[in-house]
Structure 1
Amino acid sequence: MKAIVLAAGYATRLYPLTKDRPKPLLEVAGKTILDYITGKMDSVKEIDEIIIVTNDKFAGHFEEWSNEADYSKKLTIVNDGTMTNETRLGAIGDIQYVIEQLDIQDDLMVLAGDNLFEFELTDFVSFYDQVKTSCIATYAEDNIEQLKRNGIAEIDENQKVIGFEEKPAEPKSKYCVPTLYILQESTLPLITQYLDEGNNPDAPGQLIPYFVQHSKVHAYLFEGKRYDIGTVESYERVQQIFTDKTE
């Protein structure tokens, strides 16, 4: 299994914090967001390579980070060649770019580079091994406003995904889906198909209903907190929560 961390965005909503520094390398309680994520991936024995896909503006920052990092997995930085928010490939475009550039022929874990979460990725992979289909991670969310800002999955009694909607005005379920997926190797051509049909290359959640339509997808229900860092206010709030935990 390979793991891709999506880190090619420009995080303009976090300016000035991210004007000259990529969001995944912002520190939370003395440790970068990326280090929290990579530490979780490093525990998954099935993963043999962690790929950080970034842009030309920030590639040097991630190269420097990887040179100083001390993890058991191979770290690979992929530069998608873009320089501005307006010319970005989009998250799905970046996944496809990495698959093509590195000729990936493995199962693929996909994670957003700005999500902090408490559960263990080893449990997610164990679930994937049981169901033997592509999987999304999901959790029960009671806050209706939070549901409206995220991807929402409808699942049946066997945890099979039967519907998915990105940022719905009226959520049909309480199951919130961060960008955290495991895609089966056999389904990776669906990404090319999705893009070739002219679909949105940006928000990764747009890919999930396409996968649901063309293949089987299951939802892994996790417990524990998950923190989305999208604004200066949310960053400061998470910073405070993690600082309080370490004191």
Structure 2
Amino acid sequence: MLSGASGAFRKKMVKIKVVILAAGYGTRLLKDLQEAKEEQYTKLAGVPKPLLPIGKVPLISYWVEALKSREDTENIFVVTNELYYSKFKEWAENYPCVKVINDGTSTNEERLGAVSCLQLVIERFRIDDHVIVIGGDTLFYEDFHLQDVLEKYETLLKGNSQANLVLSYSCREEEIRKYGILETDENQKITALLEKPSPTDTTSRLADAPISEKDAPGLFLSWLVIRKPVYCHPLSGRFDVGNLESYIKCNEYFKDKINIPNYLQ
């Protein structure tokens, strides 16, 4: 998600701060890894999802490699928890542009959730700029390009400095009850977000993200849509690494890619 700054749009290059949400505990994936028969998977138990090897690099490194060389990226904040804080600090030694933040929780039951983690970073560092919010366990299909998204965002800002942009993709009919479904107008402006609707509640099949009670970015988006202009940028699909099956699919997709850290450009 890209969120507009409170100040007026500047005609010079838009400066953007990045928040990567990586404070989840991956309980479903951990259970799968512990029960796996193959050593290549059991040895990954205890590795936070954003640091899982995808192809040749940790998942989160795809994003950082794409972002760090951009002139419009000022800071990259990674929010994690007490359990995985040291692992992320060790990983970030290779990335001076990354600042790792500990949300202070130690168990899945204590987790703050995505919206609260985002708020933690914004308040602690007094951020009042444009912000990219990225799920640390998410990658998109190879036809996604960060530059396309940022160019679309800048175009939106020229018309309204309060504009926001979220990424969406089409989901299958049987998946509708699992996601927040976006309804849009002819200009791809979001008019409503329906949480886990039935197929008869909406004709839209544009999925935002899975909704859960505590980790609910969709609730924030529902709140935002009625207060600020929010547009969507359709994609062909994404990988959301939540269990062993989804991890294997993501890893298989990227393992033979060339120049993989730069594919997001």
* Both structures adopt the same fold (TM-score exceeding 0.5): yes
Q: Please report how far the alpha carbon of residue 169 of structure 1 lies from its aligned counterpart in structure 2 after TM superposition.
A: 3.2
Partners of 2:190 and 2:182 in 1: CA distance: 7
Q: 1:68 aligns to what SS in structure 2?
A: coil
Q: Which residue matches 2:29?
A: 14
Residue 216 of structure 2, aligned match among 203, 208, 215: 203
- Confirm or deny that 1:137 pairs with 2:167: yes
Q: Which residue matches 2:88?
A: 62
Q: Which residue matches 1:123?
A: 148
Q: Please report how far the alpha carbon of residue 64 of structure 1 lies from its aligned counterpart in structure 2 after TM superposition.
A: 0.5
Partners of 2:123 and 2:221 in 1: CA distance: 20
- Confirm or deny that 1:33 pairs with 2:59: yes
The 1:41–1:176 alpha-carbon spacing in structure 2 relative to 1, beyond 3 Å, is farther
Structure 1 unaligned runs (5+)?
180-199
TM-score (norm 2): 0.77
Q: Which residue matches 2:39?
A: none
Q: Please report how far the alpha carbon of residue 128 of structure 1 lies from its aligned counterpart in structure 2 after TM superposition.
A: 1.0
Partners of 2:214 and 2:117 in 1: CA distance: 8
Partners of 2:197 and 2:68 in 1: CA distance: 34
Q: Please report how far the alpha carbon of residue 227 of structure 1 lies from its aligned counterpart in structure 2 after TM superposition.
A: 1.2
Partners of 1:160 and 1:121 in 2: CA distance: 20
Q: Which residue matches 1:226?
A: 238
**Cα pair 2:169 2:237 within 8 Å, conserved:** no
Q: 1:65 aligns to what SS in structure 2?
A: helix
Q: 1:215 aligns to what SS in structure 2?
A: coil
- 2:78 maps to a residue whose letter is I
Larger Rg: 2
Q: Which residue matches 1:241?
A: 253
Residue 100 of structure 1, aligned match among 120, 123, 126: 123
Partners of 1:7 and 1:167 in 2: CA distance: 24
TM-score (norm 1): 0.82
RMSD between superposed Cα atoms in Å: 2.0
Q: 2:93 aligns to what SS in structure 1?
A: helix
**Cα pair 1:82 1:89 within 8 Å, conserved:** yes
Partners of 1:164 and 1:45 in 2: CA distance: 33
Partners of 1:24 and 1:57 in 2: CA distance: 14
Q: Which residue matches 1:213?
A: 226
- Confirm or deny that 1:80 pairs with 2:127: no
Structure 2 unaligned runs (5+)?
1-15, 34-43, 158-162, 259-265
Deviates more, 1:161-170 or 1:207-216: 161-170
Q: Please report how far the alpha carbon of residue 140 of structure 1 lies from its aligned counterpart in structure 2 after TM superposition.
A: 2.9
Q: Please report how far the alpha carbon of residue 38 of structure 1 lies from its aligned counterpart in structure 2 after TM superposition.
A: 1.8
- 1:65 maps to a residue whose letter is W
Structure number with the bigger relative contact order (C-alpha 8 A, sep ≥ 6) is 2
**Cα pair 2:22 2:78 within 8 Å, conserved:** yes
Q: Please report how far the alpha carbon of residue 65 of structure 1 lies from its aligned counterpart in structure 2 after TM superposition.
A: 0.5
- 1:94 maps to a residue whose letter is C
Partners of 2:215 and 2:99 in 1: CA distance: 22
Partners of 2:56 and 2:110 in 1: CA distance: 32
**Cα pair 1:43 1:122 within 8 Å, conserved:** no
Q: Please report how far the alpha carbon of residue 68 of structure 1 lies from its aligned counterpart in structure 2 after TM superposition.
A: 2.3
Q: Which residue matches 1:188?
A: none
**Cα pair 2:224 2:230 within 8 Å, conserved:** yes
Quote the sequence identity (%).
36
The 1:237–1:201 alpha-carbon spacing in structure 2 relative to 1, beyond 3 Å, is closer
The 1:121–1:44 alpha-carbon spacing in structure 2 relative to 1, beyond 3 Å, is farther
